[in-house]
Structure 1
Amino acid sequence: MYVHFPWCIKKCPYCDFNSHTVKASIPETQYVDKLLEDLAMDVEQYGISRPVSSIFMGGGTPSLLSPEAIDCLLRGIEQQLVMADDIEITLEANPGTFESNKFAEFRAIGINRLSIGVQSFDDRLLTNLGRVHSGQEAVKAAEIAHQAGFDNFNLDLMYGLPGATVDTSISDMTTAVSLEPTHISFYQMTLEPNTYFYRFPPPLPHDELIYAIQKRCQALLADEHYAQYEISAYSRTGRQCRHNVNYWQFGDYLGIGAGAHGKLTQALPNQITRTFKPKSPAQYLAHSFEHADVQVIALADLPLEFVMNHLRLRQGFSLAAYQAATGLAVATLEPALSQCVQENLLIKQDNRYYCSERGWNFLDSILEKFMP
């Protein structure tokens, strides 16, 4: 399950997620009630009976809500769904002192994984990004996470930032590793449409420098035993983000909250659906949940949808997994699959297909071949 919280202290100039600056206070009681109403509609409409293996609370900044509100949400979810015994429950958090002081309370109510939006430990780069925390606050947040009993947490880091150099990026990564997270998300900043930076682009490092930063930091991560299992995700052994792996394996998930999406398989191959919830907080809070907005994924789009997700993972996919997830014959992947192997974009080994180093760097070239 994905749960979206659409509020932030401040909208970052690079962010294209559904987030809105808090103007006064967050209507957290009203929002939690609406989330549970939203979930009840999905459970009834789709007859959900499978256990939930992960809950990911993202945003926005979910940690702005009180532990009491999050606790009320989790207890309400437990009343409607079966929770797996080893469920992974992730909460996204920012490193500000106001939020990090809540970490022990979040752990006490059942949150067992944090994802902390550090982005950089360099105060100058954080200012360039419009972030509201300092590098020292980011360090302190990780230390508090350990003290609060979180033995599983992620740090988000960005590279290719305005004003970044190889040295600043190596310093960021060295600091991150020293804080001993179990997982590091390391991704390049891109200028997304509908953002301030897209309208008013900052000067970014040139492509050769960005590539040098990427390779140096990846080598450092490998040396420190963080294995790359996905395009932008690195983890200690057994600490991959279960929630995101499910996404990339084309798995099913419920999506509740303002602007949340879900994906549910009701029948193969012609009833794999995506759900959409009202985007603006005001619309969401006023919405009457009688039925979800649903889009059936066209059969012609399924090969691309499956491959686009699975090839983000280092392990790639098997043909058996393709048939099980889509209900389509293996032949529907051709001729694109064979072409990718011939062009050394994909490697076939032990009945699995995964990206070569060339394919990993030019994933768009692969996906174009599977477009209907």
Structure 2
Amino acid sequence: MENQNFNNRVFGLALIKSINSNFNADFTGQPRTLPDGRIYATDKALKYSIRHFIHQQYPEDKVLYYKRLNEKTHPYSLAELYDVVDLGEFDKDFKDKPKILKNILSCIDVRLFGSTFTPKKGKGNNEKSVNLSVHGTVQVNHGLNQFHRNDIPIDETYSEQISAPFRSDNAKSEKEAQQATIGRQSKLREGHYSYHFSINPKNLSPLVDLVNKGQGDNSSQGLTQKDITILKEGLRLGVTHFDSSSKAGSDNELLLWVQLKDGSKKVMPSFTEMVKVTRSNGKVEIDLSDLKGLLSNFDDDIEIIELYYSPENSTLNNIPESAKLKHLLTGKDLN
């Protein structure tokens, strides 16, 4: 069952809460902002949390795009990573594109999120290189803060000074050289990042057919039922699982999974702005009225609607019809 292909298209929304936290900083250490000041997060932040979750919780499933360090604590190159992840030997395989493609498709993150695989090794006449592109089955939009107060988006950030227990070797004065160094960190007071995502298993079909034809067998698969099970877990738990100093306070909050019937050709718009988060008496309230209205137009094409959340922390308003309510952390039914 787990190795069967997954063929249904899916549209969904993942909500990430960030309380006194910095879920996705820019290169200055500030929470990312749009030109109008609205807080947002990149798709890479959510994808990384899922990759990290899979790498930690499912070590038997290969993850290609994950930072690993060599014995000198330097990151591996892409060509080196091909060998380290045990996909094969790059020096031997680089001339055989179908083989390389088959091997990188054995990585779950490539099957999910795709790949621009352009490793190079050596120079001049000794250069060994490959240029492959895999269109991922899972497409994730940027996350946008949907926390509102009086129907107005709230994007409150703050910075604080922190002290290190050592002095700087690059002090500009004698007095400074005798003092501990001072740093600064920035955080978001409260945010609820709304991420739209979509899944189209057919994105992989042409490449899988090409690989199987080139290798003379049918050993390469596209997206599987197991891949989807793991992806769902990552979307429910990945951010909460990834705990660091800056991301402490960032957690998964809600997952909406809208699975279409096999063969449906319907498309849906982005869900990002169709959710509104507020607070009432200290408890988070999540309004899904816009989503409820949208999904009511697709009743004949929807196979299942699953809604994962934590009733201990959140209240849902205007739940879509026929949605199966499940606990975010356990996956158990709440209906």
Larger radius of gyration: 2
On whether the aligned pair clears a TM of 0.5, the verdict is no
TM-score calculated relative to the size of structure 1 = 0.25
TM-score calculated relative to the size of structure 2 = 0.27
Higher strand share: 2
